[in-house]
Amino acid sequence: MSFGENGITIKASANNNTELIMHPKKMDEINLGRKKCAFISFGSQRHYVNISLDNAISPENVLLSPKLIENLHLPDYPIYELRVNKNEIIVGPYIGLLLSEQDEKLTASRLKKLMVYIKEYSKLHGAVVVFALNKVDMPSRLIEGYCYNPIKNLWQRGTFPYPSSIYRSVGLSEEEKNHFLSAIGDTVFNNHYFSKWEMYQWFSKDSEIAPRIPHTVLYESPQNVFDLLEQFKKIYIKPISGLRGRRVVQVSMDNKTVVFKYRERGINCQAAFENISEVKAFIQQRFTAKKYLIQQAIDLMEYNGGIVDFRCVVQKNQANLWVCRAIIGRQADKGSIVSNISNGGAAFPAGVILGKVMPASEENIMDWEKKLKIFAIKVCNTLDEFGINCGSLGLDMGIDKQGQLWLIEINNRDPDPKIALDIHDEQLYHTLKAGPLFYAKSLAGFTGNEI
């Protein structure tokens, strides 16, 4: 088993003293100085220890008493790293993956699929624990779940303390959010799921980003639709919290006829009305007040009769910096109002689709990719300023026929990296799945120099 850079194993010592034993070389490496005592932490568990040096043990081994290992609920099979913060010796990284509400859903087949998260374990290290919300013991601050065992290359069941950082993809109540905040600090991400309407309200007040966001209003009555339709001639009505282009409707004026276009059961549909009362009835039947928003339609570039937009996948790295991991172009099915792959769209590497939609040189295409990346990272840095702690975002961006760049929406609910497989890039898929764990490593106290 490869330890990689900084890797160590923790083994039980022969005595039951509250003692940490290490090689002098390791003590120098972690800048422990001349400390004779400190406290050791593993996730939410902490314990005072005396420090002893032993030249006879390997620098890659650290010894703790069996009682101390038991008190810390520390598994002895991961490859760990050590960090020193003042008088604290942190064993980690210890990362939790809160991926289900019910433990019963963490089946053997699902755990097998979750192995994709630890493809980069030789660089990540530490304890990576998958757990469910119903196996959180709040009074004792313990969880029951599955820790990755790199020796056996499998998930091993056990009871563990709260992790140092948590990557969550399930909803949490306010009480649960505040409980974890009190227990481990502000190291749970994504800590706040935000809607399309919240996004518009925040960014519409930013002088740099606001001009690149379609004008948007909250749907409250059919009059809102009529007002925006008169102003822009073509608009979209979208669910505030919708995903994958579901329940999106395009509305346009054709002379005196109001035309509604939408997809239903995978088929492009259309409804047209001349009578204003029929239009009003259709709107009232289909849309609920304050559950939908109305948005200016952007005249996006097209290819073979389908609109083209771009999914920018942006993730925080171990240095706590936003990095644009991928830009993937999406071409809508001919006649479709949405470009989502699940709605018949096609995916291309950004450079490929840019070469199809604009008569441009290679240099110009690279310039557009750079513009998309810079703007995507600007948006993500602005989200940080708003206090939103995310680790992975999918930004849907577009270029109109006049060459203007637009931010259409942000997918912040654990955006699906399978879009990488739509362009047949399996390595990118693995990178996107593992990416949030390196940000979690940073939140767990192991900030690196990754760029």
Q: Domain 300-415: give its CATH architecture.
A: 2-Layer Sandwich (3.30)
pLDDT at 451: 44
CA-wise closest residue to 106 among 139, 137, 131: 131
Task: Determine the average pLDDT of the residues in 257-282.
Answer: 87
- Fold adopted by 215-296: Dna Ligase; domain 1 (3.30.1490)
pLDDT at 450: 56
Residue boundaries of the structural domains of the chain: 9-92, 97-189, 215-296, 300-415
Question: What is the rounded CA–CA span in Å between residue 237 and residue 246?
Answer: 11
Fold match, 9-92 / 215-296: no
Give yes or no for a cis peptide into 190 (omega within 30° of 0). yes
Kindly report, residue by residue over 36-45, the tens digit of the pLDDT: 999 999 999 9
Q: For tokens 């518009």, name the residue.
A: 200
% of the chain with per-residue pLDDT over 70: 95
pLDDT at 213 exceeding the cut of 60: yes
pLDDT at 103 exceeding the cut of 80: yes
pLDDT at 220: 94
pTM of the predicted model as reported, rounded to 2 decimal places: 0.89
Q: Which residue has the higher pLDDT, 373 or 345?
A: 373
CA-wise closest residue to 119 among 150, 79, 74, 75: 150
Helices 362-385, 350-357: inter-axial angle, 10-degree rounding? 120
Give yes or no for a cis peptide into 93 (omega within 30° of 0). yes
Kindly report, residue by residue over 85-102, the tens digit of the pLDDT: 999 999 999 999 999 999
Q: Provide the residue type at 168 as one letter.
A: R
% of the chain with per-residue pLDDT over 90: 73
Question: What is the rounded CA–CA span in Å between residue 438 and residue 434?
Answer: 7
Q: What band does 368 get if pLDDT is binned at 50, 70 and 90?
A: very high
Token digits of residue 405? 């760049």
Please state, in angstroms and as integers, the Cα–Cα distance from residue 107 to each residue in 104, 110, 130, 146, 259, following that order: 6, 5, 11, 11, 47
Task: Determine the average pLDDT of the residues in 128-146.
Answer: 97
pLDDT at 343 exceeding the cut of 70: no
CATH C-level class of 9-92: mainly beta
pLDDT at 142 exceeding the cut of 70: yes
pLDDT at 373 exceeding the cut of 70: yes
Task: Determine the average pLDDT of the residues in 114-120.
Answer: 93
Token digits of residue 351? 């450079």
CA-wise closest residue to 130 among 104, 109, 91, 100: 100
pLDDT at 337 exceeding the cut of 80: no
pLDDT at 2 exceeding the cut of 70: no
pLDDT at 243: 63
Q: Which residues pair with 123 in a beta bridge?
A: none
pLDDT at 264: 81
Mean predicted lDDT score pLDDT of the chain = 91
